[in-house]
Amino acid sequence: MSQLKNWLIEDEPATKKSKNILAKMPSNLVGLIGVADKKTFVSTDVLAITSLSVLAPLCSGIKLFRNIDDIDGDRVVVYVASFFRSGGGKTSAVNLLKDAFLGWLDEYYAKEYEINEKLKEELEKELEVCKDAQEKKLLIKKLNALKSGVDVFIPNATEAGLKESLKNGSTPLITLDNLGKMISIAKRNEHVGQLLKMVDEIFDSANFSTNRTLSQGRTQNIKIGGLGLYAASTLGNSGLSSKMIYEGLEDGLLNRFLIVFQQEIEKNIPFEKYLSKEELKEFVIFAKKFYVYASKYNLLLSEEAKQEAIKFNAKISKEFRTKYSIGDETSGFTSRSITMLYRIAIIFHITENCEAESPDNIEALLDKTVCFDREMILLSKETMLSAIDFFEYVKKEHTFKILDVANQNSRKSAAQKVLESIQRLCEKNKHCTIRQITQASRIAQKDGLLQILDDLLSIDKIKKEGKFYTI
């Protein structure tokens, strides 16, 4: 089985790996990641991957259509998770990026909310002293017409709070600061359990249904125009344990995340922690242009991009069927790879093409006094290939290491797990297959299962009869 040190300690130098991931991203985003990179000691990989979840809330309902006559398209919902030791910079990384890309938006909605609250207070005072029935109706109508607050940041929300926020038109960045502890208490804490269930459910479809109440005569299907989720956790019994990882893969929750790891700190702790005013201005101008572009267009795969997507689809289908047949828990991530790819491609396309936009009318867009008839723009082959390259890098270098990490954190050796699994299986039946062993031990062929079985055979711990194994 591959060991943690083989891919973390003996890997390429951080500077070379940084170049690897940045070479796969749009150049204008690379420049901004480079600025942020100097303000934190987390790896460039962590910043680059996290940036996708932070940009997702700015996607303003843009869709990617696979065919011109499709009734709907892919919308942007991106989940990113950072799993590494305490003090490694998980929270500071997302805070740096969210303040840079989204801080201006939060300030705008905060001012709008303050204005609305003052107006609401004035109308309520008028209503208290009003005697005229018609005037009362008019005041009530004005009160009901007041806009609810729109959220940009939602830390550790409740399910009800998140639903209300999305219903009000929010496209937020959700942060779950200790996912491991949340998972551990989910069964006994109804609020946490319902939140994780909702997060789990809205990823694939990018929509959700409201609850029917006495005041609301029917449920509403709410389409999400953009959503980012960033989760962080330490690894081990005090955070995300091996058992939680296995269960999270089995029930599907962790299969929705682009997961990034960081075992070694290759950078010094920087003296400069905050962006300068000029640096922040660069992020804000980019973010506003990004939002404007995403508000004006929908995307359609060009014929060349479609051919690349079809090739990727065929490759993923084969990988998924193989993993599913042998019981590899990451098969759920593989089946969602196509959806994730299109969401990354949308972000890359907007990033590459938004520079020419003017942010001058941004407030009119935000308060919905201006609305564009969306024009259909082609997504190029080059953008699709960049998204595929980036996604494959993240899978290989980070997300698919999840089983290695779980096995590394487990107190039992891989061989011990395999032997105990065979013993349990043979108590029920006389023998077992490789697929049954994989499912029971959670160690797949790619993790060295066949070598472990050969080792156990060589020391007479198990026997083999044809394709079956027995004690």
Domain tally, the chain? 2
Same domain? For 326 and 449 the reply is no
Same domain? For 324 and 465 the reply is no
Instruction: Retrieve residue 359's tokens.
Output: 């942010």
Same domain? For 308 and 168 the reply is yes
Q: Tell me, what's the pLDDT at 79? A: 98
Q: Is residue 62 domain-resident?
A: yes
Asked if residue 205 lies in contact with residue 227, where contact means CB atoms within 8 angstroms, the answer is: no
- Scanning 206-335, the segments in alpha helix (DSSP H) are 242-250, 277-296, 303-326, 331-335
Instruction: Retrieve residue 384's tokens.
Output: 């699709």
Same domain? For 96 and 153 the reply is yes
Instruction: Retrieve residue 449's tokens.
Output: 């299962």
Question: Angle of helix 277-296 relative to helix 27-37, nearest 10 degrees?
Answer: 150
Q: How many angstroms separate the Cα of 444 from the Cα of each of 50, 358, 437, 451? A: 29, 52, 9, 11
Same domain? For 56 and 83 the reply is yes
Same domain? For 77 and 33 the reply is yes
Q: Is residue 118 domain-resident?
A: no
Q: Is residue 119 domain-resident?
A: no
Q: Does the model's pTM come out above 0.85?
A: no
Q: Is residue 125 domain-resident?
A: no
Q: Tell me, what's the pLDDT at 409? A: 61
Contacts by 407-415, CB closer than 8 A, 24 or more apart: 407/1, 407/242, 407/442, 407/443, 407/447, 408/3, 408/4, 409/235, 409/236, 409/241, 409/242, 409/245, 410/242, 414/1, 414/441, 414/443, 414/447, 414/448, 414/452, 415/452, 415/455, 415/456
Q: Is residue 95 domain-resident?
A: yes
Domain boundary among 406, 429, 458: 406
Same domain? For 296 and 272 the reply is yes
Same domain? For 439 and 291 the reply is no
Residue 63 structural domain: 4-113+145-406
Same domain? For 224 and 290 the reply is yes
Domain boundary among 406, 430, 451: 406
190: exposed, middle or buried (Cβ count in 10 Å: 0-12, 13-18, 19+): exposed
Q: Tell me, what's the pLDDT at 55? A: 99
Bridge-based pairing of strands 64-65 and 297-301 is: parallel
- Scanning 411-461, the segments in alpha helix (DSSP H) are 414-428, 434-441, 449-458
Radius of gyration of the chain from Cα atoms? 25
Domain boundary among 387, 406, 425: 406
pLDDT by residue, tens only, the chain of 471 residues: 333 233 233 333 444 555 689 999 999 999 999 999 999 999 999 999 999 999 999 999 999 999 999 999 999 999 999 998 888 889 999 999 999 999 999 999 999 889 888 988 888 888 888 888 888 888 888 887 777 788 999 998 889 999 989 998 999 999 998 999 999 999 899 999 999 999 999 999 999 888 766 566 678 889 999 999 999 999 887 788 888 888 898 889 999 999 999 888 888 999 999 999 999 999 999 999 999 999 999 999 999 999 999 999 999 999 999 888 777 778 899 999 999 999 999 999 999 999 999 999 899 899 887 888 999 999 999 999 999 999 999 999 999 888 777 766 655 567 778 888 898 888 878 889 988 888 888 887 666 788 788 878 877 788 898 889 998
Same domain? For 323 and 247 the reply is yes
Q: The domain spanning residue 54 has which CATH number?
A: 3.40.50
Q: The domain spanning residue 446 has which CATH number?
A: 1.10.10.10
Q: Is residue 121 domain-resident?
A: no
Same domain? For 195 and 230 the reply is yes
Q: Is residue 127 domain-resident?
A: no
Q: Hey, how many other C-beta atoms are within 10 angstroms of the C-beta on 19?
A: 13
Q: Tell me, what's the pLDDT at 13? A: 42
Chain center to CA of 423: 39
Same domain? For 459 and 353 the reply is no
Q: Is residue 208 domain-resident?
A: yes
Sequence-distant (6+) residues with CB within 8 A of 210 are 163, 167, 216, 219, 220, 222
